[in-house]
Structure 1
Amino acid sequence: MDDRAASRWCVAAAGAAAWCAVFAALHLFWGVGGTAGLASAAGPKLAERRPAVFVVFGLYGVAVVLVAGIALVMVASGGIASQRVSRVAGVVLAIIGAVLVIRGVGLEVLLATDTAGLRTAVGRLGTRWSLVLWNPWFAIGGALFLWTAIRAARVRRRLSSSQ
């Protein structure tokens, strides 16, 4: 594997892991009582009431899943697990990446076109921030996951063909 290929692979994995870390930190911030951005992400009523089930599963639970995402990126990137486990992690990473891209782009289109009155249901604040921040954020994370999965698969192929 040449240095440029290794570099692109590292950038992809670092980007995906950083995306997870930033989003996990934001969920932990919200979980301990932070309010910045929560109303635009979860809705003003939920952000104000903060029921325990929302805090435990919707904030702390999501943070745990995102930390697991970092581990998944590391396993898919190879070196810490067998090639078979890395390959499975890469497939899971690709599936998650595709779901995130579809979620980000799909909701962007639905909100932009106001399909079925979705803007009214989400509200003006939620619509604005979903279009400007949240949906693109999910699409970017999905693209980073897909990029990592593709780069890791290429590296595994090169390594197995050179042996």
Structure 2
Amino acid sequence: MSLRLGETASRPGRWPGYAAAVWGIAFAAPSFAWAWGVGLTGASTALAPPLVELARERDPGFIALLWATGALKALGGLLGVALVCRRARGRGTNRLLQLAGWGATVLLVWHGAEFVVHGLLVEAHFIDIDPDLSAVTRWYTYLWGPWFVVGGVAFGFAARTHLSGVADRRDAVIAGRLGGFGALALSAAALATRLG
């Protein structure tokens, strides 16, 4: 049995990209189901009660938002595969993949950690919230927050796997740092303005 050069080294390294892809598609599925109107299973654990009501009433603006978020999550799944696909790429594509990969990593880990920390502070009675949101907060603390972190970690490993196969690493590393720091700045701004 003969193996081509690099074949054994590349196969084990693909799992992070596939994990990120599965994560993205699994994360997109509820958004598409709610947008399609096939039910609201799980919506009360992922959405605040007023948003669940908008979905129940089939508010056109909210339905469009559900379609858009589902599409972004599915694109994230495609990004996971693209990060570990072993084809020769140009410098621009490698930079774009690193920018997006590390941007996704930071956004997901940041928001997941934010959900967990906020929820733990609520449970420790350091932060008061509307009692209607307590059930949603528990779901975000123990399920959705960790789910975001797991997705972020998968994207981080996938971006690292991609970088190991890039010939011109310097440009790709710079692009990855820009993606990560850009996502961090965006997340911090959203937190400071209470939009995130």
Shorter-chain TM band: 0.7 to 0.9
Structure 1 segment 2-151 matched on structure 2, within 5 A: 3=8, 5-33=9-37, 34-50=39-55, 51-57=59-65, 59-78=66-85, 79=87, 81-114=89-122, 117=127, 119-120=129-130, 123-151=133-161
Distance 1:118 1:20 in 2: 32
Instruction: Decide whether the 8 Å contact of 1:96 with 1:145 is kept in 2.
Output: yes
User: % of aligned pairs identical?
Assistant: 23
TM value normalised by structure 1: 0.83
When normalised by structure 2's length, the TM-score is 0.70
| Maintained 8 Å contact 2:118/2:141 | no
Q: Tell me how far apart the structure 1 counterparts of residues 118 and 128 of structure 2 sit (CA, whole Å).
A: 7
Q: RMSD in angstroms over aligned alpha carbons? A: 2.5
Compared CA separation, residues 123 and 77, structure 1 to 2 (3 A): same
> What is the CA-CA distance between 1:158 and the residue it aligns to?
9.9
Q: Structure 2 stretches of 5 or more lacking a match?
A: 1-5, 170-196
Asked if structure 1 preserves the Cα contact closer than 8 Å seen for 2:105 and 2:155, the reply is yes
Distance in 1 of aligned mates of 2:27 and 2:111 = 16
Unaligned runs of 5+ in 1: none
Q: Which 4+ stretches in 1 moved above 6 angstroms?
A: none
Code of the residue aligned with 1:152 in structure 2: it is H
In the TM superposition, residue 8 of structure 1 has moved relative to its aligned partner by 3.5
Larger radius of gyration: 2
Give the deviation of 1:119 after TM superposition. 4.1
Shifted more, 146-155 versus 115-124: the winner is 115-124
1:129 CA drift (Å): 0.8
Per-residue Cα deviation, 1:68-111 (whole angstroms, up to 9, x for no partner):
22332333334274243023212221111111101101221122
Deviations 1:123-152 (A, max 9, x none): 121011111211111111111111100111
- Counting matched residue pairs gives 157
Q: Bigger CA drift: 69-78 or 30-39?
A: 69-78
Distance in 2 (CA, whole Å) between partners of 1:81 and 1:146 is 20
The residue number in structure 2 matching 1:155 is 165
Q: CA deviation at 1:2?
A: 6.1
Amino acid at match of 1:56: A
Cα distance in 2 for partners of 1:8, 1:42 equals 37
Q: What amino acid maps onto 1:18 in structure 2? A: V
